[in-house]
Amino acid sequence: MLYIILSIFFPVFAGIFLLAGKDMRNRKSLLLTVSLVLIVTTVLTILAITLMGGEMITLFNLTDRLPILFRVDELSVVFSVMVLTVSVCTGVFSFEYMKHEEKEKRYYGFFLIVLGVLLALCFSGNLITFYLFFELLTISSVPLVIHNRSREAVMAGLKYLFYSLCGAYLCLFGLYFIEQYGNTLTFSAGGVISNTAAAEHQGILLGIAFVMLIGFGVKAGMLPMHAWLPTAHPVAPAPASALLSAVIVKAGILGIIRIVYYIFGASFLRGTWVQSVWMILTLLTVFMGSMLAYREPVMKKRLAYSTVSQLSYILFGLSVMEGDSVTGGLLHVLCHSFIKAALFLCVGAVIYQTGRTKAKELRGIGKEMPMLMWCYTIVSLGLIGIPPTGGFISKWYLATGALSSGIPVFSWLGPAILLISALLTAGYLLPVALDGFFPGESFDYTSVEKKEPSAFMMAPVLILTILSVLMGLFPGHIVEYLSQIIEKIV
């Protein structure tokens, strides 16, 4: 019990201490404190997922029927590993990037609080616990969006707050009905809705399931509640954008997995209008996000639209509710996290070193920062889905799962739209690399000056790039582990 509680609340209390305490004597003391918190949290989380598997822990009771529960299951392990990996990488990147930003202590304080809240979501054992920390995630991450306090940042933060709270309230509305018809809010593989309740109240339960899909879909950037994402991500500092785009939005994905496969159950939703509408929304989001990213000139906003599209790759795999498609969706949770974090950090390093923010301004950047741009190119290939990267493996499972599902129209329409989206992804990512390495004869090569980022910036980018490739070269163990989840829930 101790390891789970400490892994959650140690970074939260450390973040509160930074926010409430006096300014550090020097910047090195601040960075050392943050480093120690990240290291200790990593160790505690590893101990929790290795020693506490399956054990249910009650922290306290809100009421007799509403306990605050934590438990480590296979899904918790997948998401907590993703959260830790990206958080540590973005944290280290911040050590250099935030040097020229104001209020560093405030940034790191909220960064650590967000880390603890994310781990609490991963380890939540029931829906009420998940809901409480889902709300806390929004509240604690808004300061990361509005960090520079510009009017644009504040308006983006308010938009993020409004959308996220509206989505959470939809989930809260559904929570009342689940507690009544399921008699429990505790997550259970296969669902908790009884056969009797499913037969007698099918209509209202399907309506509640759809409302909650939309609610959690807000955080995951799914139509029609996606507009906050391309507004909020670009105004935040680059490492915060990476955390938002790679990890925080996955809270919505995790919430959808929990309600579909651990509350309602795939067997209850499969073949219903909820599944059909859900698949339509995901495919529309995939195409729309890719098209908007293709047309967007500002790099951070381009990557934000890309996130809208790529998250719905995951949601489409989950909505098909077939073994391979769900495997592809869970694989893409990891692949997208590593790849998108690396892309945002690459763009952040370019902004930090040169001040350039638009794609057309990056001509010849590969001559100035060859190592960084090679990492950008490799992870871009992963996001497109080109072997030997992990993105190829996850999209392979997504496509084959859809094709083998036998669902009329969607079994072929889904892979077709994923292919079109992959081509658009190549169209908005690869030209930056091509113009960066091959700027053409008119480029002034004599003015090139090497500006490779510092080790604090390059090391996290390299680690994330290597992870994205290793997932493509050696996916067997990960797929085998994910199969343990799939067997229980599909």
Model pLDDT, residue 23: 72
What does the pLDDT read at residue 26? 81
Name the more confident of 377 and 196.
377
CB 366 within 8 A of CB 354: no
Whether the per-residue pLDDT at 400 is higher than 90: the answer is yes
Q: What is the pLDDT of residue 32?
A: 93
pLDDT of residue 199: 83
Rg (CA), the chain: 22
| φ and ψ of 65, to 5 deg | -105, 0
Percent of the chain having pLDDT more than 70?
A: 98
Q: Give me the residue label for tokens 């018809």.
A: 181
| DSSP for residue 262 | I
Residue type (1 letter), 291: M
What CA–CA distance (Å, rounded) separates 195 from 268? Answer: 9
DSSP character string of 86-122? HHHHHHHHHHHHGGGSS-HHHHHHHHHHHHHHHHHHH
Domains of the chain: which residue ranges?
272-490
Q: Which residue's structure tokens are 């290795």?
A: 50
Over residues 23-36, mean pLDDT: 86
pTM, rounded to two decimals: 0.95
Neighbouring C-beta atoms of residue 32, cutoff 10 Å: 12
- Both tokens of 416, joined, read 């077709």
Query: What's the rounded Cα separation, in Å, for the pair 276 and 317?
Result: 13
Q: Which amino acid type is present at position 368?
A: E
Q: 323 is written with which tokens?
A: 């073994």
Per-residue pLDDT band at 402 (split at 50, 70, 90): very high
Q: What is the pLDDT of residues 456-473, one digit of tens each?
A: 999 999 999 999 999 999
The reported pLDDT for the residue numbered 24 is 67
Contact predicate 247/82, CB 8 Å: yes
Arithmetic mean of pLDDT, 344-363: 91
The whole-number pLDDT of residue 64 equals: 81
CA 216 to chain centre: 13
Q: What is the pLDDT of residues 291-304, one digit of tens each?
A: 999 999 999 999 99
Per-residue confidence (pLDDT) for residue 55, from 0 to 100: 77
Tokens encoding 371: 């190592």
| Per-residue pLDDT at 169 exceeds 70 | yes
How distant is the alpha carbon of residue 68 from its chain centre? 24
Q: Check residues 213 and 448 and name the one with the higher pLDDT.
A: 213
Cα–Cα separations (whole angstroms), residue 71 to 13, 157, 188, 197, 436: 21, 32, 11, 26, 47
Could you tell me which residue, 377 or 61, shows the higher pLDDT? Answer: 377
Residue 75 has pLDDT above 90, yes or no: yes
pLDDT band (50, 70, 90) for residue 1: low
Distances (CA, A) of 72 to 48, 167, 317, 424, 489: 8, 26, 24, 38, 16
Among 114, 406, 63, residue whose Cα is nearest residue 236: 114
Average pLDDT, integer, range 428-439 = 91
Residue of 126, 233, 131, 145 whose CA lies nearest to 184 = 126
Average confidence score pLDDT of the chain: 91
Residue 274: pLDDT band (50, 70, 90) is very high
Query: In the predicted model, is pLDDT for residue 85 greater than 90?
Result: yes
Token couple for 370:
């060859």
Grade residue 446 by pLDDT with cuts at 50, 70 and 90.
low
